[in-house]
């Protein structure tokens, strides 16, 4: 095959009937490289995105240490909220993940992309991979900081860290789809930023990020149960804190099932909404 | 076979009919200009042809494939350079071209050479590895054009390629477009610049209010207006009473004794009998001679004047522009149409 390519003109080579999969890989890789170049040219974005989680870990965790100690197994409130902070990091990243696509829509770049012979999903898949790579990086940085400065160890060890990241990805998947839906539905990035500002704070309090569900007022608990972040946090917390019920009680399984259901629902919703717009 | 063939293409946005049963063809290797004011329907037509939008009715085939039934095949064969500058400002020219090479499935081993070719074609080698946020508007447009050429498209769509560019950059872009002629690339170019259509296009389709009102070569469209005009002014003495003493003594020439009006009338009588003259009109001392569109008309007028012993003090040759063509086919001046269309479509969209 390689020889055929070398002989053919660019025009012919670009048309050679290749399998759909290598074509898809090539167009997705090309677009992923684009997002990674963005990240490399603006490395401070990675740091800015860490400002909020670090503040939560250092100041919020510090301020509430004495209040939070009784509800924190081992008495370290920072260990208790670390999973919440990780989930919020993933959530924030993924929610913002549609913004570059929205900018592409506004600038006309997207129109140009869809005039190329690419599979529509490659546009979304490349974005999804870039966002979640960033999320994994940020989670690893937060885990390292928490370990170095506050002695928070992941009780379940290296396998637990891998599981933490996997759960983060499960959460990130569905949230990224929401963000992409918004990117294609909203008219401008102003609306998008306004919406992000409005939803992030309440959703962090309507989850088990800072307090366990059973100490919340009943009505808040009911809302928190509907928040996919709660499931990511509860399972991550079990991995960080360890304990006897970690592998036995089926908590991990239940949470992962809930997150998978959330992802599936978003995927179905997203496919039907985005098919019309792409 | 036609590279682009459009039949009965219609597109509505709410109450606004952006395209109303448009028909046209673009022959292989031809540069066709779609000329019209903003909002005339040019961009709508292009968006359908590049498979971004679907027509309400009608058919369009591009490079042998149907834009509605087989959009992927169309996309493989066409290049599209939109009106807006669409460079990613974080990427260098080389990275950007590399992205487009992946989008068009150029095999990786062919990529470096193809990218170098394009960089040198548009003259961006020196800046190839600098992020495009530092580029001038002209450089970005050149990069845009190069991205549209990466896969050697059969048909290239250029929407307002020189919009907002300064004069030297416009010329450079025009040169690049002209260099495509003879390379087997068919070009459909949307423009609202008369001079651009005149300079680049083999044929021009004039579009107004969603309809094609005329389509022909720029020369033929102009010829339809009655050809070119030669205007001459004989070098005669000023009419009696207005004669200055100094001028009289300086003009000792006997031939110049007659007033210019008289000489113009004499010349008119001579020229009226010549076959290449379609008609004449006098305006004071000036004589307008309507000729068939033909560059040899001017020397022949000069010969006739000198044979009759009439010397000329001024000669002008003018060629009616596409402005006049637009006026003839639409009944309104181009600038006026431009303003009206903006009002008409401000509720809807041209995009």
Percent of chain A with pLDDT over 70: 90
pTM (predicted TM-score): 0.80
Are B106 and A14 in contact (CB < 8 Å)? yes
Residues of chain B with C-beta less than 8 angstroms from the C-beta of A9 = 152
Cβ of B118 under 8 Å from any chain A Cβ?
no
Q: In what order do the strands lie in the sheet with B312-318?
A: B277-283, B286-291, B228-234, B312-318
Which stretches in chain B have pLDDT values below 70?
Answer: 226, 237-257, 293-294, 341-351
The CB density around residue B248, as the number of other CB atoms within 10 Å, is: 12
CA angle B42, B47, B53 (to 5 degrees): 130
Whether A262 has a pLDDT exceeding 90, the answer reads yes
Nearest to B177 by CA among B203, B145, B130: B145
Residue of B nearest to A107 (CA): B86
More confident residue, A73 or B52: B52
Q: Touching check for B44 and chain A: CB below 8 Å?
A: no
Long-range contacts (CB closer than 8 Å, 24 or more residues apart) made by A74-82: A74/A241, A76/A150, A76/A151, A76/A152, A78/A146, A78/A150, A78/A152, A79/A146, A79/A150, A79/A152, A79/A240, A79/A241, A80/A237, A80/A241, A81/A56, A81/A57, A81/A209, A81/A210, A82/A57, A82/A142, A82/A143, A82/A146, A82/A152, A82/A240
> Percent of chain A beyond pLDDT 90?
46
pLDDT at residue B323, as a whole number: 74
Closest CB to B105 among A26, A33, A112: A26
pLDDT tens column, B279-329: 888 878 888 888 876 678 888 888 888 888 888 888 888 877 777 777 777
Q: Does B249 touch chain A (CB under 8 A)?
A: no
* Residues of chain A contacting residue B98, judged by C-beta atoms under 8 Å apart: 30, 33
Say which DSSP state A227 is in.
-
Confidence at residue A13, expressed as pLDDT on a 0 to 100 scale: 65
Which residues of A fall within a CB distance of 8 Å from B100?
A: 116
> How far B189 CA lies from chain A's nearest CA (Å)?
16
Number of domains in chain A: 1
The β-bridge partners of B62 are B4, B65
CA distance A128 to chain B (A): 17
What is the pLDDT at residue A16? 62
Neighboring chain A residues of B52 at a CB cutoff of 8 Å: 111, 114-115
Q: What integer pLDDT is reported at residue B349 of this predicted model? A: 46
From chain B, the residues in CB contact with A116 under 8 A are: 75, 100, 103-104
Q: Nearest residue on chain A to B147, judged by CA atoms?
A: A112
Least Cα separation, residue B141 to chain A (angstroms)? 13
Instruction: Determine contact, residues B144/B130, Cβ cutoff 8 Å.
Output: no
| Domain around A37 | 2-277
pLDDT of residue A171: 95
CA distance A232 to chain B (A): 34
Taking contacts as CB-CB distances below 8 angstroms, the residues of chain B near A6 are 109-110
Best B90, B108, B147 residue to mutate vs chain A (most A CBs within 10 Å): B90
Predicted-complex ipTM score: 0.86
Instruction: Supply the pLDDT for residue B145.
Output: 92
Interval A242-250 mean pLDDT: 65
Point out the residue among B52, B99, B100 whose CB comes nearest to the CB of A111: B52
A71: Cβ–Cβ under 8 A, 6 or more apart, which residues?
A77, A80, A211, A212, A215
pLDDT number for residue A278: 67
Q: How far is B156 from chain A (nearest CA, A)?
A: 12
| Mean pLDDT, rounded, for A103-110 | 91
Q: What is the pLDDT of residues A118-165, one digit of tens each?
A: 988 899 999 999 999 999 999 999 999 999 998 888 888 888 899 999
What value does the mean pLDDT of chain A take?
87
Mutate to test the interface with A, among B105, B151, B164 (most CBs of A within 10 A): B105
């Amino acid at each position: 095959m390689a020889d055929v390519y070398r002989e053919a003109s660019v025009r012919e080579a670009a048309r050679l009937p290749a399998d759909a999969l290598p074509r898809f890989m090539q167009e997705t890789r090309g677009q992923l490289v684009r997002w990674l170049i963005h990240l490399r040219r603006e490395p401070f974005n990675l740091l800015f995105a860490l400002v909020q989680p670090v503040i939560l870990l250092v100041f919020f965790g510090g301020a509430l240490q004495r209040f939070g100690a009784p509800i924190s197994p081992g008495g370290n409130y920072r260990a208790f909220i670390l999973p919440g902070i990780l989930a919020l990091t993933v959530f924030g990243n993924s929610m913002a993940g549609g913004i570059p696509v929205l900018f592409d829509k506004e600038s006309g770049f997207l129109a140009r992309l869809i005039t190329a012979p690419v599979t529509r999903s490659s546009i979304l898949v490349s974005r999804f991979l870039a966002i979640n790579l960033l999320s994994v990086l940020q989670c690893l940085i937060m885990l390292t900081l928490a370990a170095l400065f506050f002695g928070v160890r992941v009780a379940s060890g290296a396998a637990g860290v891998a599981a933490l990241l996997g759960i983060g990805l499960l959460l990130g998947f569905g949230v990224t789809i929401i963000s992409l839906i918004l990117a294609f539905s909203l008219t401008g990035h102003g609306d998008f930023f306004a919406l992000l500002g409005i939803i992030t704070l309440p959703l962090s309090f309507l989850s088990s990020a800072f307090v366990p569900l059973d100490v919340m007022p009943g009505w808040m608990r009911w809302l928190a149960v509907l928040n996919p972040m709660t499931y990511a946090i509860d399972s991550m917390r079990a991995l960080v804190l360890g304990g006897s019920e970690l592998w036995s009680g089926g908590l991990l399984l239940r949470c992962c099932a809930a997150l998978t259901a959330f992802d599936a629902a978003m995927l179905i919703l997203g496919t039907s909404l985005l098919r019309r717009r792409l | 076979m036609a590279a682009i063939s459009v039949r009965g293409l219609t597109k509505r946005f709410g109450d606004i009919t952006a395209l109303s049963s448009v028909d046209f063809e673009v022959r292989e290797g031809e540069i066709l200009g779609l000329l019209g004011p903003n909002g005339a329907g040019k961009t709508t037509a292009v968006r359908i042809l590049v498979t971004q939008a679907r027509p309400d009715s009608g058919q369009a085939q591009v490079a042998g494939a149907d834009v509605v039934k087989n959009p992927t095949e169309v996309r493989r064969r066409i290049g599209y350079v939109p009106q807006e500058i669409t460079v990613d400002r974080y990427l260098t020219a080389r990275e950007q071209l590399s992205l487009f090479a992946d989008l068009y499935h150029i095999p990786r081993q062919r990529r470096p050479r193809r990218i170098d070719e394009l960089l040198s074609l548009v003259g961006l080698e020196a800046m190839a590895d600098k992020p495009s946020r530092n580029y001038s508007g002209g450089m970005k447009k050149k990069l845009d054009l190069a991205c549209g050429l990466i896969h050697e498209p059969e048909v290239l769509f250029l929407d307002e390629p020189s919009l907002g560019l300064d004069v030297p950059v416009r010329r450079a872009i025009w040169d690049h477009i002209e260099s495509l002629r003879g390379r087997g690339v068919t070009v459909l170019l949307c423009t609202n610049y008369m001079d651009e259509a005149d300079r680049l296009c083999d044929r021009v389709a004039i579009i107004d209010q969603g309809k094609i009102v005329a389509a022909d070569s720029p020369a033929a469209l102009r010829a339809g207006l009655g050809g070119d005009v030669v205007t001459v002014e004989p070098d005669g003495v000023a009419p009696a009473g207005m004669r200055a003493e100094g001028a009289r003594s300086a003009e000792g020439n006997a031939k110049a004794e007659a007033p210019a009006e008289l000489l113009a009338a004499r010349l008119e009588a001579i020229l009226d009998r010549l076959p290449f003259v379609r008609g004449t009109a006098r305006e004071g001392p000036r004589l307008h001679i309507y000729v068939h569109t033909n560059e040899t008309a001017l020397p022949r007028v000069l010969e006739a004047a000198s044979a009759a012993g009439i010397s000329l003090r001024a000669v002008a040759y003018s060629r009616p522009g596409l402005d006049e063509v637009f006026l003839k086919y639409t009944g309104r001046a181009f600038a006026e149409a431009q303003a009206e269309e903006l009002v008409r479509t401000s509720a809807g969209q041209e995009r």
